[in-house]
A and B are shown apart, each in its own frame.
Chain A
Amino acid sequence: MRNIWAIAWKETKTYFASPMAYIVGAVFVGITGFFFVDAISVPFPVASVRGFLDRAVLLVMPVWAPIITMRLLAEEQKLGTLELLMTAPVRDYEIVLGKFLATLFIFLGTLLLTLWFVLLLFFFGDPDPLPLLVAYLGFILYGAAALAVGLLASSLSPNQIVAAAVGFGVLLLLTFMQQAADQVKGAASTILGEVALTGHMDDFLRGILSTKDVGYYVSLVALFLFLTVRLVESRRWR
Chain B
Amino acid sequence: MPAMIEADNLTKYYGSLLGIQGLSFQMERGEVLGFLGPNGAGKTTAMRILTGFMPPTSGSARIAGYDVNTQSLEARRHIGYLPETVPLYTEMTVTDYLTYMGTLRGMASKQMAHRIAEVIGVCHLEEYRLTYISKLSKGFRQRVGIAQAILHEPDVLILDEPTIGIDPIQVVETRQLIKGLGGNHTVILSSHILPEVSMVCDRVLIIHEGRVVAIDTPANLSAHLRSTQRIEAEVRGPSAEVMPLLRELNGVQDVRRQGDGLVATYVIEARPGADLREPIATLVVQRGWGLLRLQSVEMSLEEIFLRLTTSEEQ
Contacts and interface: CB of A to CB of B under 8 A. Distances in A.
Q: Do A and B come from one complex?
A: yes
Interface of A: 2-3, 6-7, 10, 14, 17-18, 79-91, 236-238
Nearest to A86: B53
Contact of B51 (A6, A10, A81, A87): A87
Contact of B91 (A7, A14, A80, A87): A14
B100 A236 contact: no
Interface in B40-74: 48, 51-55, 73-74
Given A80-B85, A87-B53, A236-B53, A6 B73 contact: no
Given A88-B76, A91-B73, A236-B53, A83 B87 contact: yes
Contacts of B90: 79
Given A87-B76, A89-B77, A80 B104 contact: no
A18 B101 CA distance: 21
Contact of B87 (A2, A17, A81): A81
Given A83-B53, A236-B53, A236-B55, A90 B104 contact: yes
B79 interface: yes
B76 A89 contact: yes
A83 B92 CA distance: 18
B83 interface: yes
B87 A80 contact: yes
A87 B89 contact: no
A209 B81 CA distance: 50
Given A89-B106, A236-B55, A84 B91 contact: no
Interface size class of B (residues with CB under 8 A): 20 to 34
A167 to B, nearest CB: 22
Interface string B240-262: 00000000000000000000000
22 contacts: A6-B103, A14-B89, A14-B92, A79-B87, A79-B90, A80-B87, A81-B87, A83-B83, A84-B87, A84-B148, A85-B104, A87-B79, A88-B76, A88-B104, A89-B76, A89-B104, A89-B106, A90-B104, A91-B73, A236-B53, A237-B54, A237-B55
B107 to A, nearest CB: 11
Given A7-B104, A87-B52, A89-B106, 7 more contacts: A6-B104, A79-B90, A80-B87, A81-B88, A83-B83, A84-B87, A88-B101
A89 B73 contact: yes
Contacts of B236: none
